[in-house]
Structure 1
Amino acid sequence: MHIDSEQSVIVDSDLIRRYDQAGPRYTSYPTAPHFHTDFDETDLISALQTSNHQARPLSLYFHIPFCEHLCFYCACTKVVTRHHEWGGPYVARLEKEMALYLKHLDASRPVEQLHFGGGTPTFLRQNDLTTLLNSIHRHFQLLPDDQGEYGIEIDPRALEPGTLKRLREFGFNRISIGVQDLDVAVQKAVHREQSLELLAEVMAEARSLGFRSISLDLIYGLPLQTPESFARTLEAVITLRPNRLSVFNYAHLPERFPAQRRILETDIPSPENKLRILAESISTLQQAGYVYIGMDHFALPDDELTLAQKEGSLYRNFQGYSTHAGSDLLAFGMSAIAMVGPNYSQNIKELDAWGERLDHGHLPVEKGIRLNEEDLLRRHIINRLTCDFRLDFAALQQQYGIYFRAHFSDCLPALKQLEEDGLIQMDAEKLQVTPQGRLLIRHVCMVFDAYLPQKSVRYSRVI
């Protein structure tokens, strides 16, 4: 299937105002709030044993929760500390977790994807980082250089000299850097001060070492931002020519994330200014040659994500957009989420409780869910919508044995409304998201989310 990834996204302000409601980002389906504690360690072990027979390749995620500084906007699971010596015991427990996994897992399966997230993975001092990398190499079958998608999140402010070189020698070929905003006043308001010069220096070093992809994250809607100030940030970032850019909406949920209480609501841009920032950013990025991949993500035309979207092979998981579908995702570290076959499991979110479970010889599963056939169908639909902006009804019938209009008859009124409002087009063969509907793809996906009415969950706004 050929996907027209060159189709521009259109910012329809009236449509966005009408549909700008809260909704999931769909890095999984069902989403994490619907996991339950009935799913435990024994369920994960059973899933691992079943997966050995299916012999899918592996994807590994390591959550390094530590940060030296508290960024006020952050909604990640983290531990803020200046105690770098905490890294050693944490790495030792990650080694225990890997060993426990391997009691039930065929580790000869190739690791196609590897990701370090956080927190700040580069919080680890080089000796602890080297210990962790060596342990991963001992336990798992890594691919030769650049055959896998091996990425790590980098904080330029927490990067020891030589760390990038060590990562590259191990096989990492991608880095992701949180920038958020380059305006000094905005940086002070969110407690993340980082210069353009430092960012450029780290990117130049990464390129000289042969990292093949650099992704930068920006956030719009932060305190004291204006359309003019964010335009200056975007202009500076584009001159560095990252391979990928993420432009996220700041979700202000101080009742869930206490650090956000330090942000004055009166400093947050008005909805009108947020929409203007978004619209102007999309226009600027498209003029600079970036392709809108979807869900806040942009990439250069020759990037692997762009090429995968053209081919219809793009995939979305907890690490965002990916070119590696069909892997079993193993997750290590506090709060990390695994996906093994038709199962999700999430680790304990508290550092001490996570470590104590491992010290007693148990996989630290806190909750999870086993997907039924209907879940798998709806997950497939949501994944294809977020990656392709299109559904092929004949392909659904062939793969799942369902007639779209009959199976989803209860969704047809909502889809008809989306069609009347210009977000989608439907005929007997397909559902196609329009250029106006691309920014609201989360809203299109929500039509197929059977769990949304079942539980009151506070999500971020779509735009």
Structure 2
Amino acid sequence: MSENLQWDPLLIQRYNRPGPRYTSYPTAVEFLPASNDRPERDAFAKRDPSRPLSLYLHIPFCAHVCYYCGCNKIVTKRREQAEPYLELLKREILAKKALLGDHRRVEQLHFGGGTPTFLSDQQLQELVEFLQQHFEFSDADSADYSIEIDPRELRPNTLTLLRELGFNRISFGVQDLEEAVQIAVNRVQPESMIRAVMNEARELGYRSINMDLIYGLPHQTLESFDRTLDTIIELNPDRLSVFNYAHLPERFKPQRRINAEDLPSAHEKLAILGHCIEKLAAADYHYVGMDHFARPDDELAKAQASGKLHRNFQGYTTHGDCDLIGFGVSSISQIGDYYLQNQVTVDAYEHCLSDDRLATLKYRHISLDDKIRREVIAELLCHLSVRFDTLDNRYGINSREYLQASLQALQPMLADELVLIDDVQIRITEKGRLLARNACMAFDSYLKQHEQQRFSKAI
């Protein structure tokens, strides 16, 4: 896949409307309330036992509040709050282990949050060893065991311990290296700290290192973000996630501490993104899609080149053949044709588990129509094309006729040469790669009732 990304700010502004990020289809706003845990038990009962597992553990605690954050988190300095939560987590792990029976082969593990390294080194070790007691973890080179890292929340031995426990991929939350920006969002971490953590991770042999950046934060300018990019490129992470900051203080209380007057203008923000894309491409980062970049030799880029990239609640992934099992508050599972979300508060989560129930809050059992549209959306986001004959053979339909209304909705993008449609396939052009999310919206049968109030803008 070439790197001839075409940056046209006028075109991007024209298409820059709210829409989902499609980590699932239907998206999480379409999940239905669950009055009990029966949908989740049905999902486990119908699971294909030949499918390997991807485990996600949500650790909600943060010692500091980052003002831009919209995650489900508990901000506290009281480290002792973690211990009762870990006991609940272990109870859920045992409950789901029982439903999985003897088919518990794990190929992917991810600790997210919150701040997973809020846990002490001993707690991290005990949690991983508990998982290892109850699941069979693959030792294949392709196995993917990752954790999100806050550089401020590392003890002297934490990265060494995590590597010894089997973690081979880590993600650092950097966001921006300018002090004024860090102060404005309450995430102060000097460049020297980022360098030290990065160097240590390299020395310990982590296979892939990701850094998160955010554009659109207070006091950012084109010049200031360019300085951050210079340093990041020098540090040479394997992957980069460059996210758009969506200022929604009416939805996310911490964002009310950000002064809207300090945010870059829409014009400046767009210029920052354009410069970022051009600069990373020049530094030999491959644009995977949806804010993600990777070195050409990284597994993510190689999976896309070979047509084996997938997308789920963890974003782009190389393990799309796994059933995703979530543990902890707000975590989401994807088991076959079921999506299942846990309770989002610790009290409700504890109440369910104490009553010997799974902590199911919402679910969705997808229809045939959902499956067809899910495949189209995933293929466009991962590989920029989808073939009609593949859909016809897999679902027993005439896909051109079946998707006629959606193909008609793509006409403006077709006229702007962002999409090509012929007898063989739907394809995103080089000109349209940055707007692939917009093309996916044409296939979303639920979008019109939600798009304005529920989603951030595409760019």
Q: TM-score, with normalisation over the residues of structure 1?
A: 0.97
Separation (CA, whole Å) in 1 of partners of 2:262 and 2:88? 42
Q: State the match for 2:297 in structure 1.
A: 302
1:209 to 204, 207, 211: 204
1:68 to 58, 63, 66: 63
Residue identity (%): 49
Q: State the match for 1:43 in structure 2.
A: 39
Separation (CA, whole Å) in 2 of partners of 1:454 and 1:106? 40
Structure 1 position 206, deviation (Å): 1.3
Query: What amino acid maps onto 1:81 in structure 2?
Result: T
1:143 aligns with 2:134: no
Q: State the match for 1:57 in structure 2.
A: 52
Separation (CA, whole Å) in 1 of partners of 2:413 and 2:108? 36
Q: State the match for 1:6 in structure 2.
A: 2
Contact 1:28/1:318, CA 8 A, preserved across alignment: yes
Contact 1:38/1:367, CA 8 A, preserved across alignment: yes
Q: State the match for 1:338 in structure 2.
A: 333
Equivalent residues in 2 for 1:60-459, closer than 5 Å: 60-144=55-139, 146-455=141-450, 457-459=453-455
Secondary structure of 1:462's aligned partner: coil
Distance 1:151 1:363, change over 3 A: same
Separation (CA, whole Å) in 2 of partners of 1:412 and 1:130? 51
1:251-300 residue CA offsets vs partner (Å, 9 max, x unmatched): 11111101111111111111110110011011100000000000000000
1:34 aligns with 2:30: yes
Distance 1:320 1:347, change over 3 A: same
Structure 1 position 174, deviation (Å): 0.2
Secondary structure of 1:63's aligned partner: strand
2:18 to 17, 22, 41: 22
Structure 1 position 403, deviation (Å): 2.1
1:333-375 residue CA offsets vs partner (Å, 9 max, x unmatched): 0000000110001001112221222122211110110001111
Query: What amino acid maps onto 2:25 in structure 1?
Result: Y
Distance 1:111 1:344, change over 3 A: same
Structure 1 position 97, deviation (Å): 0.2
Query: What amino acid maps onto 1:170 in structure 2?
Result: L
Query: What amino acid maps onto 1:85 in structure 2?
Result: E
Separation (CA, whole Å) in 2 of partners of 1:49 and 1:356? 23
Q: Which runs of 5+ in 2 are unaligned?
A: none
Structure 1 position 312, deviation (Å): 0.5
Separation (CA, whole Å) in 2 of partners of 1:277 and 1:142? 42
Structure 1 position 109, deviation (Å): 3.2
Structure 1 position 100, deviation (Å): 0.8
Contact 1:174/1:214, CA 8 A, preserved across alignment: yes
Structure 1 position 453, deviation (Å): 2.3
Separation (CA, whole Å) in 2 of partners of 1:107 and 1:114? 18
Q: Which runs of 5+ in 1 are unaligned?
A: none
Structure 1 position 244, deviation (Å): 0.2
Secondary structure of 1:349's aligned partner: coil
1:397-443 residue CA offsets vs partner (Å, 9 max, x unmatched): 12222223200111122112110022111111111111221111111
Query: What amino acid maps onto 1:402 in structure 2?
Result: I
Separation (CA, whole Å) in 2 of partners of 1:74 and 1:148? 30
Contact 1:40/1:367, CA 8 A, preserved across alignment: no
Query: What amino acid maps onto 2:402 in structure 1?
Result: H
Structure 1 position 30, deviation (Å): 0.8
Contact 1:107/1:141, CA 8 A, preserved across alignment: no
1:39-70 residue CA offsets vs partner (Å, 9 max, x unmatched): 7411111111211x442100000000000100
Contact 2:310/2:382, CA 8 A, preserved across alignment: yes
Contact 2:50/2:103, CA 8 A, preserved across alignment: no
Structure 1 position 391, deviation (Å): 1.3
Contact 2:108/2:144, CA 8 A, preserved across alignment: yes
Secondary structure of 2:33's aligned partner: coil
Separation (CA, whole Å) in 1 of partners of 2:140 and 2:390? 35
Contact 1:40/1:368, CA 8 A, preserved across alignment: no
Distance 1:369 1:419, change over 3 A: same
Secondary structure of 2:128's aligned partner: helix
Single out whichever of 411-420 and 366-375 deviates more from structure 2.
Answer: 411-420
Separation (CA, whole Å) in 1 of partners of 2:449 and 2:175? 34
Query: What amino acid maps onto 2:113 in structure 1?
Result: G
Structure 1 position 146, deviation (Å): 4.0
Q: TM-score, with normalisation over the residues of structure 2?
A: 0.97
Contact 2:34/2:361, CA 8 A, preserved across alignment: no
2:458 to 439, 442, 462: 462
Q: What RMSD, in angstroms, separates the aligned Cα atoms of the two structures?
A: 1.3
1:13-34 residue CA offsets vs partner (Å, 9 max, x unmatched): 1111101001111111111111
Contact 2:125/2:165, CA 8 A, preserved across alignment: no
Contact 1:145/1:171, CA 8 A, preserved across alignment: no
Separation (CA, whole Å) in 2 of partners of 1:291 and 1:8? 10
Distance 1:107 1:233, change over 3 A: farther
1:71-90 residue CA offsets vs partner (Å, 9 max, x unmatched): 00001100000111111111
Contact 1:220/1:249, CA 8 A, preserved across alignment: yes
Structure 1 position 107, deviation (Å): 4.4
Separation (CA, whole Å) in 2 of partners of 1:253 and 1:386? 25
Contact 1:345/1:365, CA 8 A, preserved across alignment: yes
Secondary structure of 1:436's aligned partner: helix
Structure 1 position 455, deviation (Å): 4.1
Distance 1:107 1:160, change over 3 A: farther
Contact 1:178/1:216, CA 8 A, preserved across alignment: yes
Secondary structure of 1:103's aligned partner: helix
